[in-house]
Amino acid sequence: MTPQDVCSGSLALCSLPDGSAVSLCVNARILVALRENGKESLFVLCGGQIVRGIAFLRAPDGRLCVVSGGDGKFVAVQDVSLAKLLPVDKIELGDVGDDCGTMVFRTKPLPKRVMHVVVCDDATVLFADRFGEVFRLELAWNTDGTITTKENEVAPAFLLQHFSAITVLFASPLNSVPVREGRESSRTPTVVQRVLTCDKDCHVRVSHYPETYRIEQFLWTEAPQEVVTAVAEVRFVREGFTHFHFAVGTLNGKVHLWAAESASATVGGTSAAPFALVGSLTSEQVQNEKAGGLLSLVHVALSGEGSSASEESELPRGILAAYDGSRHVLYIPLEVCGDRTLSLGTHCISKVCLESPPVAMVGFTADAALAVLRNGRLQQLRLTRTGCGASIHVCGEQWLEGLSGLLQDRLCGVLHDIDIFCQWNFDVVDPRTRKRWKSDASEGSDVSLGSNGVVEGTLGAG
């Protein structure tokens, strides 16, 4: 990794499924926006390191926390309720070494930098380091509000390993559905949960969770294989429906749709290849040739108030695809094929044009996604009904005006220049000839940022 790659900064984005909270981290500052009584409350947390991954975690008493990991080689949990609420014009984005008092848990120093963080439930965190290893951190909430590790574990539990940098770490939510095993249909709900891990060498591994030693399948497309940069699960359940679906996006701009048999995730599942590729789409097919890699895929679906499960399954749904370097976001409708699988509606794909190319996009509500643009604006992409179909409309989110204004005023330059793939998409160099760069961040120490959030001082590739 070159010094320019490190200087380009880091960005991580997450939200709550009901759209009531958004967290955005640029370098070491974690910005959290909460919707309270229809108004925005904006907080700034001190990450204490260059943060690469963040996720929300809900405490048993309802407190909202943020889990983060990064170049400081530790995973931290911070309580948003302990942060000071300040007006936007009073917020400072200076030195990241100061402790704002929100950190309620921090792991001991880890061997490698943390690249990705996901939350499986209210007490379990999965994270991946830059050398391709994935670990589980089980937390225990104490009655006094503090956090410890479950059974006072000394170190996070090792789950699985790739042999190159991980590009995507995805944990599907717990799905409790009737599944079909063999020719008989079981009405007993079975818990289905998977972990998808993708690496720089174009591997896509699907593992059972928590028994991650059980590899369900490697997802191979036609040669040549491509690096996967985005994954989204399509939750679509109705009477007799026995497949889950996963949309997978690549660095070359392709979108693949995979169907998975639910029975394969049970102890008695015997399918040799439970995942089947049911559709693919290239950027050339939608005349989006100038687009870069897939930044994000988000599943959106309309919901009908008072509708039955069978009626819900017939409502419009699709995939939003955001590309690096392109202002256009695609809406790819999903169509039902037969009684169990979905397909990409390639004949009715539509585009929406944003003010500026997005740098990140995340699911916001069941029918909407939230995009962070390179000019600092936040724009919502919402699926709305139009006649007998649906289309995507772009609009602002009024209660997020404070966060959007802060990004435009203070961090627009960083967002404009950031390379979202640089933390893993770097060239291998000869160690005998490369220049040696020293970084405090690589050694787990605090780092310094300027007032605009840009890293200051010497940087390194450690």
The residue type at 454: V
Q: What is the pTM of this model?
A: 0.86
Looking at residue 94, what is its pLDDT? 57
| Strand order across the beta sheet in which 29-36 lies | 11-15, 21-26, 29-36, 39-46
- Span 60-77, pLDDT tens digits: 889 999 999 999 999 999
Q: Which residue has the tokens 């690589």?
A: 442
Q: Categorise residue 27: left if φ over 0, alpha if ψ from -120 to 50, beta otherwise.
A: left
Task: Show the domains of the chain with their CATH numbers.
Answer: 8-175+193-220 (2.130.10.10)
Torsion of CA 69, 73, 74, 79, to 10 degrees: -40
Residue 204's pLDDT is what?
A: 97
- Name the percent of the chain in helix, strand, coil, to the closest 5: 10, 45, 45
Contact between 380 and 363 under an 8 Å Cβ cutoff? The reply is no
- Cis upstream peptide for 210 (omega within 30°): yes
Q: How far separated are the first and last CA of the chain, in Å rounded?
A: 9
> In the predicted model, is pLDDT for residue 442 greater than 50?
no
**Structure letter (DSSP) for residue 449:** B
CA distance to 309, 447, 460, per residue, from 442 (Å): 51, 10, 7
Is the predicted pLDDT of residue 32 greater than 90, yes or no?
Answer: yes
Provide the mean pLDDT of the chain.
Answer: 83
* Among the ranges given (48-52, 92-96, 396-400), the one the predictor scored with the smallest mean pLDDT: 92-96
Q: What is the pLDDT of residues 245-293, one digit of tens each?
A: 999 999 999 999 999 876 555 544 556 678 999 999 987 787 776 788 9
Length of the chain: 462
Question: In the 8-state DSSP scheme, what is residue 78?
Answer: E
